[in-house]
Homo-oligomer: A and B are copies of this chain.
């Protein structure tokens, strides 16, 4: 898994790309990736975003080591084009809204330059042990703010 922070290249700078090897295991008898796999990949891309931005601290470490959870309250995905194992799936991933206790990510999936899906995923920050809403710590908020982009900026 080679998750690359952005190449610095003008308008596309700062968008994290998470690469997925689509496999036989992911495909249904229509010979394309099963719809239900796609939300799983998009969530993995968001987990990988945190891991890349927080020096190796993904959801697992956030929960276990920092008592911070990010349960989802909404997801919406538009499926634009079928996904197959013929190409890697590149998930362009960025935070596009940060509230007091919530965050929205955009994840757009591409294969061979073609948009396959685009989605928005909103979660709230909680104290993991209590499962109660909480403001995220300052260092986390700073990291998100540094990478915040408009929703259509992918």
Chain A interface residues toward B at CB < 8 A: 1-3, 19-21, 23-25, 27-32, 34-36, 39-40, 43-44, 47-48, 51, 58-61, 63-64, 69, 71-79, 82, 84-86, 88, 128, 131
Q: Decide if A74 touches B78 in the complex (CB within 8 Å).
A: yes
A28, A59, A73, A128 — which one has the most chain B CB atoms within 10 A of its CB?
A28
7 A-B pairs whose Cβ atoms sit less than 8 Å apart in the complex: A23-B60, A24-B29, A25-B43, A28-B29, A29-B30, A30-B71, A74-B77
Name the residue of chain B whose CB is nearest to the CB of A121.
B35
Q: Name the B residues within 8 Å of A2 (CB-CB).
A: 1-2
Give the residues in chain B near A31, CB-CB below 8 Å: 29, 64
Where chain A touches its partner, the secondary structure class is: mixed
**Supplied contacts A1-B19, A24-B60, A30-B131, 5 more A-B pairs, CB within 8 Å:** A21-B51, A23-B58, A25-B47, A60-B84, A60-B85
Contacts of A20 in B (CB 8 A): 1
- Per the bound structure, the CA–CA distance linking A58 and B73 in Å amounts to 28
Q: How far is the CA of A15 from the CA of B48 in the complex (A)?
A: 27
Is B47's CB under 8 angstroms from A36's CB? no
